[in-house]
């Protein structure tokens, strides 16, 4: 019988029912198991779902301490998926900075997560090839061709210190196959169609590892909901060869035991804030394996314990985010009314259209809507002024504060021509810029976005409800609210993408407005058609009480994606803006206008390309890239 020990908690001895809890967290490295004459000893440090680099230097220190405290053991580091994406950095570099830092730990074995499908195929292949560890892929046979193999399983051969006996440990990498988690083009064409469910793949591969490869223990690395991991443990945990499932996907710490105590599911939370340290050892050639584990509070470790070289690398990557605040995402046309989020809760705004259009493009949906409460800037972006010799750090918005306070319309501020004949502005000119710092002010929250198959009729009703639902007073009476002068603004007001065209129809008898949809993505609206609509995840669950969305999700729970399928709105907008910048840079050609060169003799376009490619700051010159795109990163 396999023995389980839990540091800081009672030992398990056939609990009467499923046990779901998190073991107490320790700040120090757990002690190795009681020494015996010649054990075969495996130590594993496991974490999952990493979207931030912040705690990785401390995790590297933990790995060093874990290996040093048990020199006779074989120490490995495992990762339960979701590390290419999503994060603000991955929106810029496709996950390259994360892969570089994880390779410095290093991570030895990882399974794929559903967010690895967020990056394009080229970035996916690049990341897999650069990753220092082995990505195990047991159930998605159709994947982009990588120079580095992603084997269906991995086998570790571990010997005792004196070489008296050896054990084999098999590792699997299993990724959930729920269609609601993925875009149709996830990974590559045919990937989803050929994927095998996790449980089916585990049942197929475990006998192969046990009987053909003579593995004494098999550890599945999984990326799926904890409920699915529990079903996996119940189905395969009766095998003494499968005492443990190391999981990912859930962002909370989970410690789940089978009723008979034979199999545990461990998940360490997210962002390497904590990690499980697992010890497995065999005391002699004939002994059954023993297992103990502890949850270590990585985030709670003293700051000085961060490993210096990795801390320096993380700081260099974080510096990109500081420069990103000054990076221009959008230029505003000379004769346009500018971008504005003023009045976002009472009417359609240009910022709302920009954000929703980026959500539609980024998720390849038919339409996109977003609750006005998620857009918080309440500002207008028409022109700005750059002082002589100053970069964006010295830039001040021209009248922005006054416009915020007085809500002056953009057209009331006369725009002044600020570009020379080739569109490159110089110091002292006014410039129409919308930067990443502006985007962060507009979308300060995570704002998780999902795509749902919404009937056209429900979409139209949701838009109407969001724009006509009167705010109730504290008494709950709408008439009282109107009489007391309650504001007509509401967080529920749905902002729309630029190809979701609506109009207000007035009933002549009641003189009430009825909002109708005219067209979706360039095609006439069909109320009976099902559209792929990008929207705020929490709006489906009742946020801002948009009744048609709530009723639809309550009536079709099987069509509601899990929260982990959501993508942060800010990351999607950033990704789409950068993609458009690259597209316009790629189409720049010589025209009748001579390309202006800098004092160093390098063209603005070339310097733009290099700055984007290397994420280095540009000087104060600006390159216009097409009619509505500009890129500028100040030194």
Beta bridge partners of 328: 435
User: How high is the mean pLDDT of the chain?
Assistant: 78
DSSP assignment, residue 305?
Answer: G
Q: How far is CA 605 from CA 390, 611, 615, 632, in A?
A: 21, 10, 15, 11
- pLDDT greater than 90 at residue 628: no
Question: What percent of the chain is predicted at pLDDT more than 90?
Answer: 49
Q: Which of 54-63, 127-136, 160-169, 332-341 has the lowest mean pLDDT?
A: 332-341
36 located within any domain: yes
Q: How much is the pLDDT for 419?
A: 29
Do 256 and 366 belong to one domain? no
Do 188 and 294 belong to one domain? yes
Compute the distance between CA of residue 595 and CA of residue 206 in angstroms, rounded to an integer: 63
pLDDT, tens only, 528-587: 999 999 999 999 998 888 999 999 999 999 999 888 889 999 999 988 988 887 766 655
610 located within any domain: no
21 located within any domain: no
Domain boundary pick from 549, 570, 591:
570
607 located within any domain: no
Domain boundary pick from 570, 593, 610:
570
Do 313 and 368 belong to one domain? no
623 located within any domain: no
Q: How much is the pLDDT for 240?
A: 65
Q: How much is the pLDDT for 332?
A: 58
Residue 425's pLDDT band (cuts 50, 70, 90): very low
- pLDDT greater than 50 at residue 484: no
Pairwise pLDDT comparison (335 vs 605), residue with the higher score: 335
- pLDDT greater than 90 at residue 445: no
pLDDT, tens only, 225-237: 999 999 999 888 6
198 located within any domain: yes
- pLDDT greater than 80 at residue 316: yes
Nearest to 577 by CA among 85, 91, 115: 91
Compute the distance between CA of residue 275 and CA of residue 183 in angstroms, rounded to an integer: 30
Q: Which domain CATH number covers 361?
A: 3.90.780
Pairwise pLDDT comparison (145 vs 606), residue with the higher score: 145
Helix (H, G, I), strand (E, B) or coil at 20: strand
Do 201 and 234 belong to one domain? yes
Tell me the whole-structure pTM to 2 decimals: 0.69
pLDDT, tens only, 171-183: 999 999 988 788 7
pLDDT, tens only, 244-292: 999 999 989 999 987 677 789 999 999 999 999 999 998 877 778 888 9
Do 281 and 413 belong to one domain? no
Strands (E), 22-165: 25-26, 40-47, 74-79, 109-111, 134-136, 153-159
Q: How much is the pLDDT for 469?
A: 66
Q: How much is the pLDDT for 179?
A: 83
3-state SS, one letter per residue, for 506-525: ECCCCCCEEEEEEEECCEEC
164 located within any domain: yes
Q: How much is the pLDDT for 433?
A: 74
Do 170 and 271 belong to one domain? yes
- pLDDT greater than 80 at residue 199: yes
Compute the distance between CA of residue 337 and CA of residue 326 in angstroms, rounded to an integer: 22
DSSP 203-253: HHHHHIIIIIS--SEEEEEEES-HHHHHHHHHHHTTSTT--EEE--S-SSE
Q: Residue 404: which H helix or E strand, with range?
A: helix 400-406
Q: How much is the pLDDT for 549?
A: 96
Q: How much is the pLDDT for 224?
A: 94
Sign of the torsion angle spanned by Cα atoms 301, 304, 309, 315: positive
Q: How much is the pLDDT for 258?
A: 78
Helix (H, G, I), strand (E, B) or coil at 11: coil
Pairwise pLDDT comparison (482 vs 40), residue with the higher score: 40
Q: Residue 182: which H helix or E strand, with range?
A: none
Do 309 and 381 belong to one domain? no
Strands (E), 419-478: 430-431, 433-435, 448-455
366 located within any domain: yes
- pLDDT greater than 60 at residue 15: no
Q: How many domains does the chain have?
A: 2
Q: What is the mean pLDDT of residues 433-438?
A: 83
- pLDDT greater than 90 at residue 136: yes
pLDDT, tens only, 19-59: 445 566 666 666 666 556 678 999 999 999 999 999 999 99
- pLDDT greater than 50 at residue 427: no
Q: Which of 60-74, 542-556, 584-598 has the lowest mean pLDDT?
A: 584-598
Compute the distance between CA of residue 421 and CA of residue 406 in angstroms, rounded to an integer: 35
Do 353 and 209 belong to one domain? no
β-pairing, 380-381 vs 339-340, is antiparallel
Residue length of the chain? 635
Q: What is the mean pLDDT of residues 370-394?
A: 63
Do 287 and 359 belong to one domain? no
Q: Which residues of 465-474 are buried (b: 16+ CB within 10 A; e: fewer)?
A: bbbebeeebe
Residue 331's pLDDT band (cuts 50, 70, 90): low
Q: How far is CA 588 from CA 52, 583, 625, in A?
A: 35, 9, 7
Compute the distance between CA of residue 67 and CA of residue 75 in angstroms, rounded to an integer: 6
Do 384 and 489 belong to one domain? yes
Beta bridge partners of 75: 43
Nearest to 620 by CA among 596, 602, 604: 604
Question: What percent of the chain is predicted at pLDDT more than 70?
Answer: 73
What range defines the domain where residue 398 resides? 330-570
Tokens of 57: 């230097």
Residue 516's pLDDT band (cuts 50, 70, 90): very high
Domain boundary pick from 320, 354, 379:
320
Q: How much is the pLDDT for 141?
A: 94
Do 363 and 273 belong to one domain? no
Q: Which domain CATH number covers 197?
A: 3.60.21.10
Do 271 and 341 belong to one domain? no
Q: How much is the pLDDT for 189?
A: 86
């Amino acid at each position: 019988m396999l023995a389980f020990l839990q540091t800081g908690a009672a030992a398990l001895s056939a609990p009467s029912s499923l046990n779901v809890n998190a073991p107490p967290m320790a700040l120090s490295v757990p002690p190795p198991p009681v020494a015996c004459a010649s054990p075969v000893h495996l130590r594993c440090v496991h974490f999952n779902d990493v979207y931030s680099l912040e705690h990785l230097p401390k995790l590297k220190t933990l790995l060093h301490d874990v290996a040093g405290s048990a020199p006779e053991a074989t120490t490995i580091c495992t990762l339960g998926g979701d590390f290419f994406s999503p994060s603000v950095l991955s929106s810029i570099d496709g996950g390259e900075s994360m892969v570089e830092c994880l390779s410095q730990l290093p991570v030895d074995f990882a399974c794929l997560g559903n967010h690895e499908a967020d990056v394009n195929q080229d970035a996916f292949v690049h990341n897999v090839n650069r990753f220092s560890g082995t990505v195990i892929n047991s159930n998605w046979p159709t994947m982009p061709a990588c120079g580095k193999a992603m084997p269906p399983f991995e086998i570790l051969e571990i010997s005792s210190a004196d070489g008296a006996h050896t054990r084999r440990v098999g590792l699997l990498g299993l990724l959930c196959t729920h269609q609601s988690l993925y875009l149709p083009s996830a990974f590559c064409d045919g990937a989803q169609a050929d994927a095998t469910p996790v449980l089916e793949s585990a049942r197929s591969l475990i006998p192969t590892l046990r009987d053909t490869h003579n593995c004494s223990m098999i550890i599945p690395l999984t990326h799926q909901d904890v409920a699915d991991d529990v079903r996996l443990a119940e189905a395969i945990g009766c095998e003494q060869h499968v005492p443990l499932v190391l999981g990912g996907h859930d962002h909370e710490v989970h410690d789940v035991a089978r009723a008979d105590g034979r199999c545990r599911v461990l998940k360490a939370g997210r962002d390497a804030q904590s990690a499980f340290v697992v010890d497995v050892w065999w005391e002699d050639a004939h002994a059954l394996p023993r297992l103990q584990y502890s949850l270590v509070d990585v985030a709670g470790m003293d700051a000085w314990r961060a490993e210096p070289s990795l801390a320096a690398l993380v700081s260099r990557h974080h510096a990109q985010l500081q420069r990103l605040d000054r990076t221009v995402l959008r230029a505003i046309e000379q004769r346009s009314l500018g971008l504005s989020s003023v009045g976002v809760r009472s009417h359609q705004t240009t910022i709302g259209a920009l954000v929703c259009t980026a959500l539609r493009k980024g998720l390849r949906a038919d339409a996109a809507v977003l609750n006005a409460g998620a857009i918080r800037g309440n500002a207008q972006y028409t022109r700005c002024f750059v002082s002589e010799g100053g970069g964006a750090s010295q830039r001040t918005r021209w009248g922005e504060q006054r416009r915020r306070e007085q809500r002056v319309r953009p057209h009331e501020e006369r725009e002044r021509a600020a570009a020379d004949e080739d569109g490159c502005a110089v110091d002292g000119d006014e410039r129409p810029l919308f930067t990443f710092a502006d985007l962060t002010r507009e979308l300060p929250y995570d704002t998780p976005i999902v795509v749902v198959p919404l009937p056209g009729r429900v979409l139209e009703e949701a838009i109407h409800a969001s724009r006509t639902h009167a705010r109730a007073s504290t008494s709950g009476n709408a008439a009282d609210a109107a009489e007391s002068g309650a504001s007509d603004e509401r967080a529920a007001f749905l902002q729309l993408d630029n190809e979701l065209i609506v109009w207000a129809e007035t009933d002549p008898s009641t003189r009430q407005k009825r909002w109708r949809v005219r067209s979706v993505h360039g095609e006439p609206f069909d109320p009976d058609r099902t559209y792929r609509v990008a929207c705020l995840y929490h709006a489906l669950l009742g946020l801002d009480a948009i009744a048609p969305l709530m009723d639809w999700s309550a009536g079709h729970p099987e069509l509601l994606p899990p929260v982990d399928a959501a993508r942060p709105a800010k990351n999607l907008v950033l990704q789409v803006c950068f993609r458009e910048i690259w597209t316009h840079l790629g189409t720049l050609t010589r025209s009748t206008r001579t390309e202006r060169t800098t004092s160093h003799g390098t063209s603005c376009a070339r310097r733009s390309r290099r700055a984007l490619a290397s994420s280095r700051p540009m000087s104060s010159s600006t390159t216009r890239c097409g009619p509505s795109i500009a890129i500028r990163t100040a030194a």
